[in-house]
């Protein structure tokens, strides 16, 4: 059984995922990983993971294998193999010990033209390759101001349901990341985040109650050590997807500990 497979257990698990984005070097990664491993020793009651740039997956595998921290990538091809220069497949990531992969991050949607259909294909490809996709959804500031947050999130989820079926949600993690909160220092308030998390769970519940109660829904967008605990205390927030703060070992470990505390 995969560590993040939905086991049908009554209690949802907790998870914190670092998204390094386009940052790192062999030298700085080594320090960061060493400090995370040391800081996480003995922390129980949550899953800790890092999603790193492709070239460093080997290094991360070497540093983390055999331990509790898992690793993955920030993107994956929707194709298994073929003439797709520059792409990386799910099975390649699995080959390097990845368990997870982020799909549909708002930066990929906004900057690289990934639409809902492509994100859904990547979600399916990730699962076929043996990975747990972390599906990102979330609205832009404009969409929030227009009052269509719920419609946007529903559309993004529905595209995946259409391709993967509800069964697909039994082996995934969802990350709600309001685009206006990513990298801006503007965190959604715990209440704002909780409202959307509860909405997502209710939507899934219409189709499969058991699954909706067990699925992990992470919040992402300017999570820091100083605001993690209040976010994770909300009933439908099961952890975080962490960008900037995941590059600082002390911050990241504190966020993981905040998730563990409310497990």
Residues labelled as active-site residues: 105, 177
CB 139 within 8 A of CB 149: yes
**Position among 222, 251, 258, 259 found at the interface with ligand PGA (CB under 6 A):** 222
Give the footprint of ligand PGA on residues 103-132 (CB under 6 A).
Answer: none
Q: Give least dist CB 175 to ligand PGA, A.
A: 7
Task: Enter the DSSP assignment of 129.
Answer: T
Strand extents, DSSP E, 33-130: 47-51, 70-73, 100-103
Q: Give least dist CB 167 to ligand PGA, A.
A: 26
> How far apart (Å, rounded) are the C-alpha atoms in residues 169 and 167?
5
223 binds ligand PGA (CB under 6 A): yes
Instruction: Kindly tell me which of 52 and 241 has the beta carbon lying closer to ligand PGA.
Output: 241
CB 63 within 8 A of CB 56: no
> How far apart (Å, rounded) are the C-alpha atoms in residues 7 and 5?
6
One character per residue 178-197, x = contact with ligand PGA (rule: CB under 6 A): ----xx--------------
Task: Enter the DSSP assignment of 246.
Answer: G
170 binds ligand PGA (CB under 6 A): no
CB 76 within 8 A of CB 114: no
> How far apart (Å, rounded) are the C-alpha atoms in residues 18 and 1?
23
143 binds ligand PGA (CB under 6 A): no
Instruction: Kindly tell me which of 129 and 221 has the beta carbon lying closer to ligand PGA.
Output: 221
**Position among 131, 180, 243, 249 found at the interface with ligand PGA (CB under 6 A):** 243
The footprint of ligand PGA on this chain (CB under 6 A) covers a number of residues equal to: 13
Q: What are phi and psi of 16, to 5 degrees?
A: -130, 125
**Position among 19, 127, 149, 156 found at the interface with ligand PGA (CB under 6 A):** 19
Question: Per the structure block, which two tokens stand in for 122?
Answer: 């990547």
Q: Which positions touch ligand PGA (CB under 6 A)?
A: 19, 177, 182-183, 220-223, 241-245
């Amino acid at each position: 059984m995969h560590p993040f497979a939905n086991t049908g257990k009554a209690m949802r698990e907790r998870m914190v995922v670092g998204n390094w984005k386009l940052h790192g070097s062999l030298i700085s990664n080594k320090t960061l990983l060493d400090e995370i491993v040391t800081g996480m020793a003995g922390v129980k009651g949550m899953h800790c993971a890092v999603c790193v740039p492709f070239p460093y997956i080997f290094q991360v595998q070497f540093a983390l294998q055999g331990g509790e921290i898992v690793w993955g990538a920030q993107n994956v091809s929707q194709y298994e193999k073929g003439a797709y220069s520059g792409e990386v497949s799910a099975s390649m990531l699995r080959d390097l010990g990845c368990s997870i992969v982020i799909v549909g991050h708002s930066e990929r949607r906004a900057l690289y033209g990934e639409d809902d259909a492509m994100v859904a294909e990547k979600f399916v490809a990730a699962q076929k390759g043996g990975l747990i996709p972390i599906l990102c959804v979330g609205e832009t500031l404009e969409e929030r101001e227009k009052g269509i947050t719920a419609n946007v999130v529903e559309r993004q989820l529905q595209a995946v349901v259409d391709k993967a079926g509800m069964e697909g949600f039994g082996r995934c993690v969802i990350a709600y990341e309001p685009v206006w909160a990513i990298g801006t220092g503007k965190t959604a308030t715990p209440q704002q985040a909780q409202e959307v998390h509860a909405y997502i769970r209710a939507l899934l519940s219409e189709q499969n109650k058991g699954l909706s109660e067990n699925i992990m829904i992470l919040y992402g967008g300017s999570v820091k050590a100083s605001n993690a605990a209040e976010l994770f205390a909300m009933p439908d927030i099961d952890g975080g997807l962490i960008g900037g703060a995941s590059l600082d070992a002390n911050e990241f470990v504190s966020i993981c500990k905040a998730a563990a505390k409310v497990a």
